[in-house]
Every structure is written in C-alpha cells, then in structure tokens.
Amino acid sequence: MDLLKLESLTGDGVISRLLYREEVTSTNDMIMEIARQGYPEKALALCEIQTAGRGRKGRHWESPAGSGIWMSLLLHPQRKGLLLSSITLLAALAITRSINEELLEMGLADSSQTLRNNTDTKSSSSSILNAQIKWPNDVIVGSKKVCGILTEMISDGTNNNIIVGIGINVNQTAFPEELLEKGISLAMATGRQWNRESLVVRVIKHLVLLEDEFENVGDLSPFLEEYNSLLISKDKEVVLTADNIDFPDNPYTARGITKTGALIVEDKMGKSHDISFGEVSVRGLLGYV
C-alpha cells in the first residue's frame, strides 16, 4: 500500500491519524488499541496481511497480502441511543458508492445503469456492472460478494468509540474452493486491476460525510432512497434464517429498509414486518443473493 497516496485523508482533515502495519491480527484489533487509550479523533488503520481477520458471527475473513483492502475506521458519534447497525449500513452505502464511481470512470457503468440489478458475473470489460448492497453488511458485484463489514463499539458509558472494519476483495485472481460460490474480487469481475489507494480515499471520504449527516439528522431518512435503490433483494423473495428463531412464512418479499435500518419484509398475506439487524441472515431463493 502506497501511503503517500493516502496523505490527502489527513491533509484534508478527513481523518486525524493514519496507522499502517504490514501484518496484524486484524485492523479492528489494531485501531482498538488507540480507542482504548482514549484517542479522541477519527483515525484509519490499514494493513497488507490480516492473520485473524474476522467477519460477522466470528467467521474468518480471508485476507491475502497485496491484493485487497483491509482497513478499520475509528469514529466518535456523539448521539445517545446510537444503533450500531446504522453505521454498518452507512459503510455499505459508502463502499457501494465508491465502487460505482470507479466503474463509471472505467467506462464499465453509466449513470442510467449503475442502480440497476445486474447478475452477470462474467469478467468482461464490455459488461455493464454495478455494485449493490446485500443487507446488512455485504457489498455485491454481479451476484457475488466483494466486501464485508464488521462494526464494533467500545463505550465507557459517556463516549462512543465506533470501529468500522472493512475488507474489500480488490485484485485477487483466485479464491479458495470453499469461497468460490459467493466470493469475487473487483479485478475478477471487471477483468482489470484496481488502484487500491484511490478506492480507500473514496470510501473513507464518503463514509465520514455520511456519518456526519447521520449525526445531524439522527436517523437514516436522508439515505433511504439511495440505499433502497441499491438493495439487491428489493422486491425479490428472500429466505430469513437465525439461530433460535423460526420464520414460518418463508419466503418473504424484501421491500427496503426503515429509517432505523431494519429490513422491511412482506409475508404471503401482504403483512409487513421489520427485521432488526441482530443475527438474522437473508438469502435469495436460489442461493447467496
């Protein structure tokens, strides 16, 4: 990672501190060190290799060297009663925006098509591609996952320290067999190598701006239209699963999210239900999406 190309983040005041290590257990662990020491400003941690990268439900996150973006952003929201899931949804929106901007500049998307559902997973420079969101914390290109988000909080009862961990598959050319069904990299999806530093800068700038607006408004209402237009399952049938919870009306139809970040699903009788973040997983009828 060329840190000189990331200097604009501190130079423009987007963040106050940039941390980098070649190899760490995870960037969330790395940024947690300064959060516990009471660091009061926004900070970003990056690495080349994570030896114990983790995702939702404690799953292992594959983090090979030199090919992806493994980073964590430290935020300090001041609003009481903060829903951690709201920050995760904002991160997904920031990442999706950033990827679509890069695709547009590459000529692989256009303004009339970046918000359309696209399930073509072929690596073709002539294909129109767009990034979409799989609620609550995955970013999808085509029908496969390019990014996961793990958001954690450290609170002393007075101050919130939010750590947003982001893993983006950027320039990998292959995946372990067990990940082939649902994983892909941006390079594999587009047939081109990506500039990791450029994508880092875009994502962090978008996320900081989104979080600032969220702080001012107090909920996700300013982002609902954009988020729902990018939701890959919107108006499609989905299957809900969770440990120790029965969903007898599967499949449901996803209708979007609420201003608190809950997923709105409609059962076969047309009744709407708000599904909170928790440990609920959402899958398409035929697989991952």
Q: What is the pLDDT of residue 164?
A: 97
Going by C-alpha positions, the residue among 144, 111, 110 that lies closest to residue 127 is 110
Whether residue 167 is found in the same domain as residue 55: yes
Three-class SS state of 65: coil
Report the pLDDT averaged over residues 80-100: 91
Contact 128, 108 (CB under 8 A): yes
Q: How many domains does the chain have?
A: 2
- Reply yes or no on whether the pLDDT at 284 is more than 60: yes
pLDDT single digits (tens) 152-209:
998 766 678 999 999 999 999 888 877 778 899 999 999 999 999 999 999 999 999 9
How far CA 18 is from CA of 4, 27, 49, 207, in Å, comes to 11, 12, 17, 16
Whether residue 78 is found in the same domain as residue 197: yes
Whether residue 34 is found in the same domain as residue 167: yes
Going by C-alpha positions, the residue among 192, 208, 154 that lies closest to residue 43 is 208
How far CA 269 is from CA of 238, 242, 250, 260, 284, in Å, comes to 15, 22, 12, 24, 19
Three-class SS state of 71: strand
**Does a structural domain hold residue 289?**
no
**Does a structural domain hold residue 206?**
yes
CA distance 257 to 276: 10
Whether residue 239 is found in the same domain as residue 221: no
Whether residue 98 is found in the same domain as residue 222: yes
Domain span at residue 208? 3-226
pLDDT single digits (tens) 204-261:
999 999 999 999 999 999 999 999 999 999 999 999 998 878 888 899 999 999 999 9
Whether residue 95 is found in the same domain as residue 135: yes
CATH number at residue 61: 3.30.930.10
pLDDT single digits (tens) 97-150:
999 999 999 988 755 544 444 333 333 334 568 999 999 999 999 889 999 999
